[in-house]
């Protein structure tokens, strides 16, 4: 089903996109993809700061707009990309949907399962596309891995480990501001959490979790979680923003193992590998270069125009939000039981 928004059923012309906010991820990743994709046209970029909007449009095109509401009022915008801080996602995604715009929102869609469920339902009721930008799911090598698992290349899956951590940022970064939805659990943990759900299914139980809080600022800066599926398959997740960079996941089966290095941020212009280990030794499987940001954008356009289903929409978003919330609750309970603060 195509959307009932301003441009959902329009074919033969690029999808006209507006951007709410001038975030770093927009500058580095998504705006180059939007500007370079023949199926999209960048119409306008909105900011509360006129100079910032002008700087972004000077680099990528489109018209600078002061104020997010003014952009949503434009009839020449079919869809919006939302790279705002997490705490602003829910109100502005809702306003965009109510304005009849399709939405591609940076991850996580919201900071709570209740808000996520409400927005997913609103998009469905409105006949509009609402995708969450966990762009790594669009990279072709994960499809290679899923095929290997389905074909029995490592036997029966027994355990998954996934990790994603980044070095500390400037202390003024929004990720250290709790009022803006900062913290490692919302910013980086979603990648290994989504990986666990992708391979192990939706009925995961949180066996244990821990979050370390910053000495000042009140946000979690690292953590870990142990999950279990209904068949006894386990998942061990680690995440943080006070580490040397690391991003990989490992699928451990009864007869072999698959390792995916640079799992969440592979270079767009370079090929990647999948490491397969089995009874006969190990080998590296080469995957051609792939731009996961462009592929996500193409999937968004296909969802808007043709109603093509996406792993980045609907019920999976709600299930992930619920699981993240359970990890937070389990970590809070563990800290309380320990009798000591999260940061030793």
Given 52, 101, 107, 283, which residue is catalytic?
107
**How far is the CA of 16 from the CAs of 12, 85, 165, 307, 310, in angstroms?**
12, 23, 35, 17, 20
* CB neighbours of residue 224 within 10 Å: 19
**How far is the CA of 93 from the CAs of 19, 28, 96, 130, 317, in angstroms?**
12, 22, 5, 9, 14
Supply 19's token pair. Answer: 């951007």
With a CB cutoff of 8 Å and minimum separation 6, the contacts of 314 are 120, 124
- For this structure, is 101 an active site residue? no
How far apart, in whole angstroms, are the C-alpha atoms of residue 144 and residue 142? 5
Q: Side-chain half-sphere of 8: how many Cα atoms within 13 Å?
A: 21
Q: Report, as residue numbers or ranges, the catalytic residues.
A: 107
């Amino acid at each position: 089903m195509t959307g009932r928004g301003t441009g959902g059923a329009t074919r033969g012309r690029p999808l006209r996109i507006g951007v709410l906010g001038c975030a770093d991820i927009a500058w580095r990743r998504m705006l180059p993809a939007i500007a370079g994709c023949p199926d999209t046209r960048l119409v306008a970029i909105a900011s509360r700061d006129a100079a910032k909007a002008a700087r972004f449009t000077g680099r990528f095109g489109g018209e600078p707009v002061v104020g997010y509401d003014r952009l949503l009022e434009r009839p020449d915008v079919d869809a919006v990309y939302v790279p705002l801080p997490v705490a602003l996602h829910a109100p502005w995604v809702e306003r965009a949907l109510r304005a009849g715009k399709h939405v591609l929102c940076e991850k996580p869609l919201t900071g709570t399962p209740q808000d996520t469920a409400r927005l997913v339902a609103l998009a469905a009721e409105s006949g509009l596309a609402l995708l969450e930008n966990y762009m790594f799911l669009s990279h072709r090598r994960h499809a290679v891995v899923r095929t290997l698992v389905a074909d029995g290349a490592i036997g029966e899956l027994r355990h998954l480990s996934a990790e994603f951590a980044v070095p500390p940022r400037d202390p003024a970064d929004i990720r250290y501001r709790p009022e803006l939805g900062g913290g490692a659990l919302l910013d980086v943990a979603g990648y290994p959490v989504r990986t666990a759900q992708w391979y192990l299914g939706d009925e995961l139980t949180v066996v244990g979790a821990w979050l370390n809080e910053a000495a000042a600022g009140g946000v979690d800066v690292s953590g870990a979680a142990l999950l279990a599926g209904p068949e006894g398959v386990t998942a061990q997740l680690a995440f943080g923003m006070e580490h040397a960079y690391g991003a990989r996941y490992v699928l451990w089966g009864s007869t072999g193992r698959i390792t995916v290095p640079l799992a969440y941020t592979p270079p767009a212009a370079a090929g990647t590998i999948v490491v397969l280990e089995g009874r006969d030794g190990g080998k590296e499987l080469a995957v051609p270069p792939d731009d996961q940001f462009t592929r996500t954008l193409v999937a968004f356009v296909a969802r808007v125009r043709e109603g093509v289903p996406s792993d980045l929409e609907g019920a999976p978003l709600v299930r992930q939000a619920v699981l993240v919330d359970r990890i937070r609750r389990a970590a809070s309970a563990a800290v309380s039981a320990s009798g000591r603060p999260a940061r030793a």
